[in-house]
Amino acid sequence: MGFGLGVSADQRAMEAQIDEEMLALVTQLTNEVNWHMRERGLTRADLAGRMGVSPGRVSQILSGGENLTLRTLAALSTALDARFEIELSSSKAEDTYTSRDTAEAEAAPPQNGPNHHTFPRTQHRESARGPRRR
C-alpha cells in the first residue's frame, strides 16, 4: 500500500503489521515444505512432478514472493503426503480461549495408532527438527 495523502498513521501501522505477519507465514510455510522435502529425499523437480507443475513453478512457490491459494497449499500437502496444521492464537499473552472442540478433544481418551503422537505441538517440532529459530 502506498503512503499517499489521506492515509492515517493507524492505517500505515496496520499495513506494516500485515506485511510482517505475511513474511512470518511465508517463512514458516517454506521452512515446513523444505523440511518435508528433505525428510522424503525429494528435489524440487520431484515435487513438481508430484504436483503436475514445472520445477520453475515450484521455485516460484517456495520463493515466497506470491500470495498462495488454498488450492496450491492443498497440492503441496498432497504431493508431500502430509497435512498443514493451522493454529490461530492470540497475539496478546493474556488472552486465552479454548473452543468446545479443543476442550472435548483434551477430555477424550487417547487414541492409539501408528500416526498418533502425544507430544505437545512445540515439543514435537523441537524433538523432530531441533528448536525453531525466530
9-87+98-129 adopts what CATH topology?
A: 434 Repressor (Amino-terminal Domain) (1.10.260)
Q: What cell numbers appear for 23 in the block?
A: 513474511
Q: Judge whether 75 and 50 are in contact, CB under 8 Å.
A: no
List the end-to-end C-alpha distance of the chain, in Å, as a whole number: 26
Q: What is the overall mean pLDDT for the chain?
A: 78
**Exposure of 90 in the CB half-sphere (CA atoms within 13 A):** 7
pLDDT tens by residue, 69-92 = 999 999 999 999 999 998 888 887
Could you tell me the residue ranges of all domains in the chain? 9-87+98-129
Q: Judge whether 84 and 77 are in contact, CB under 8 Å.
A: yes
Average of pLDDT values for 29-57?
95
